[in-house]
């Protein structure tokens, strides 16, 4: 392990103050939000008395520091609190919704990488050709088409007009039952259960929303691949490699692409975290029970526990993601861990 192992450990330790900071900030920010959850949840016809009752049940009549200590002690026991708007423990909500979002986002990213990375490489090796123009067109379209619009257009064409896509009713059509829960990822769970039919149904439901998201994420990845490849190809070591008479494939994939991958992986990480939080609109259009719409609804209703739980889980996810990206660096770039720290 040595240097690499130590560097990884340092990364993990560095995450602890970050997460504590996130806990404090999310706690304060949710309280600073305008709106009074007691009023919100007492219902439209509530009287002052019933609002006060609700406030006491929620523990919101206590001073803030006391609320914070209570929150911390709950957290220490792994209890994220109870969401008021869904009436379930936040942990249960997150456990059912996070996999839905992750599955969608991962499939979309995979799809988008499969298209954008080769496209970026081709565009960089043949600048000005039709591939380069196609890349430019896709990048522009991806950036300029809002996801909810792409989603509705895809539904209109493939579901409404052609009738080849399944009803846009979330993760599974109602004639199917959720596969027995192992990971919460329907594709994995149904595969584990050996249920091909449900697997296929879940995949069919995934295609349209994943395409919508893929189109959106395609742009930054393709653009970054193209730019990174261009700069790598014009680097001195490529010239040396060419001069040394290495084969074109070896130069392109052995040296240029490997060096170009670093910024691409960084972009991928950024796109992933961004999309996970920002796919609310896709979730709404496809009735996808994901984490984005959960967070937005919780925010609108001043549902403190749910918002804090969401922020915390996202923070954890980001820390994890950064770690994974760092580890990916160490695979791509052997210098990792020796220079820094």
Q: Of 32 and 339, which has the nearer Cβ to other proteins? A: 32
Does 253 engage in binding with other proteins (CB under 8 A)?
A: no
Q: Of 81 and 220, which has the nearer Cβ to other proteins? A: 81
Q: How far apart are the first and last CA of the chain?
A: 16
Q: Which of 101, 105, 198, 212 binds other proteins (CB under 8 A)?
A: 198
Does 174 engage in binding with other proteins (CB under 8 A)?
A: yes
Q: For residue 335, count other CB atoms closer than 10 A to its CB.
A: 9
Asked if residues 199 and 187 have their Cβ atoms less than 8 Å apart, the reply is yes
Does 212 engage in binding with other proteins (CB under 8 A)?
A: no
Q: Which of 15, 22, 97, 131 binds other proteins (CB under 8 A)?
A: 97
CA distance 121 to 226: 6
CA distance 84 to 31: 15
* Shortest Å distance, C-beta 192 to other proteins: 13
Q: Of 220 and 309, which has the nearer Cβ to other proteins? A: 309
* Shortest Å distance, C-beta 63 to other proteins: 21
CA distance 203 to 191: 11
CA distance 244 to 262: 25
* Shortest Å distance, C-beta 299 to other proteins: 8
Does 189 engage in binding with other proteins (CB under 8 A)?
A: no
Does 310 engage in binding with other proteins (CB under 8 A)?
A: no
Asked if residues 248 and 190 have their Cβ atoms less than 8 Å apart, the reply is no
Tokens of 208: 């349209």
CA distance 327 to 104: 24
Identify the sign of the CA torsion 32, 36, 40, 41. positive
Asked if residues 304 and 83 have their Cβ atoms less than 8 Å apart, the reply is no
Which of 337, 336, 334, 318 shows the shortest CA–CA distance to 15? 318
For residue 193, give the DSSP letter.
T
Subset of 18-57 contacting other proteins (CB under 8 A): 33-36, 39-47, 49-50, 53-54, 57
Q: Of 203 and 270, which has the nearer Cβ to other proteins? A: 203
Q: Which of 156, 254, 324, 340 binds other proteins (CB under 8 A)?
A: 156
Q: For residue 187, count other CB atoms closer than 10 A to its CB.
A: 19
Q: Of 99 and 120, which has the nearer Cβ to other proteins? A: 99
Q: Of 86 and 105, which has the nearer Cβ to other proteins? A: 86
Decide: residue 327, CB within 10 A, 0-12 exposed, 13-18 middle, 19+ buried: middle
Which of 89, 44, 91 shows the shortest CA–CA distance to 313? 91
What is the SS3 assignment for 174?
A: coil
From the list 110-118, 224-232, 233-241, 292-300, the region that binds other proteins by CB under 8 A is: 292-300
* Shortest Å distance, C-beta 48 to other proteins: 8
Identify the residue whose tokens are 């609804």.
297
Q: Which of 22, 155, 268, 312 binds other proteins (CB under 8 A)?
A: 155
Q: Which of 96, 125, 231, 266 binds other proteins (CB under 8 A)?
A: 96
Subset of 51-90 contacting other proteins (CB under 8 A): 53-54, 57, 84-88
Q: Which of 91, 122, 152, 325 binds other proteins (CB under 8 A)?
A: 152
* Shortest Å distance, C-beta 71 to other proteins: 19
Q: Of 162 and 244, which has the nearer Cβ to other proteins? A: 162
Which of 332, 335, 340 shows the shortest CA–CA distance to 262? 332
Tokens of 120: 């970026």
Binding site for other proteins (CB under 8 A): 33-36, 39-47, 49-50, 53-54, 57, 84-88, 93, 96-97, 148, 152, 155-156, 159-160, 163, 166-171, 173-180, 197-198, 284-287, 289, 293-294, 297, 300-302
């Amino acid at each position: 392990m040595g240097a690499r192992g130590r560097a990884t450990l340092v990364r993990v330790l560095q995450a602890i103050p970050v997460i504590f900071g996130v806990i404090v900030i999310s706690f304060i920010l949710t309280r600073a939000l305008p709106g009074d959850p007691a009023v919100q949840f007492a219902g439209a016809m509530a009287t002052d008395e019933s609002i006060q009752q609700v406030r006491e049940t929620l523990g919101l009549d206590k001073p803030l520091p006391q609320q914070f200590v209570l929150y911390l002690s709950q957290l220490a026991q792994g209890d994220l609190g109870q969401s008021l708007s869904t009436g379930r423990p936040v942990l249960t909500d997150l456990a059912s919704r996070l996999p839905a979002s992750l599955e969608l986002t991962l499939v979309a990213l995979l799809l988008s990488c499969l298209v954008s990375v080769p496209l970026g490489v081709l565009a960089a090796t043949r600048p000005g050709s039709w591939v380069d123009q196609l890349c430019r067109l896709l990048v522009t379209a991806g950036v300029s088409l809002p996801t909810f619009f792409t989603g509705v257009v895809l539904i209109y064409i493939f579901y409404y007009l052609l009738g080849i896509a399944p009803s846009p009713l979330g993760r599974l059509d109602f004639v199917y039952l959720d596969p027995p829960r192992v990971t919460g990822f329907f594709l994995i769970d149904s595969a584990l259960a050996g249920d091909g039919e449900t697997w296929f149904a879940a995949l069919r439901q995934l295609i349209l929303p994943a395409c919508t998201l893929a189109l959106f994420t395609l742009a930054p990845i393709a653009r970054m691949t193209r730019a990174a490849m261009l700069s790598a190809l014009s680097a001195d070591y490529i010239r040396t490699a060419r001069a040394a008479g290495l084969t074109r494939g070896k130069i392109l994939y052995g040296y240029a692409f490997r060096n170009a991958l670093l910024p691409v992986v960084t972009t991928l990480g950024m796109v992933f975290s961004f999309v996970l939080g920002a796919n609310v609109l896709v979730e709404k259009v496809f009735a996808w029970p994901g984490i984005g719409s959960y967070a937005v609804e919780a925010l609108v209703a001043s549902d403190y526990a749910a918002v804090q739980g969401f922020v915390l889980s996202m923070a954890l996810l980001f820390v994890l993601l950064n770690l994974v990206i760092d580890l990916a660096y160490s695979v791509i770039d052997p210098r990792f861990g020796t220079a820094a720290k």
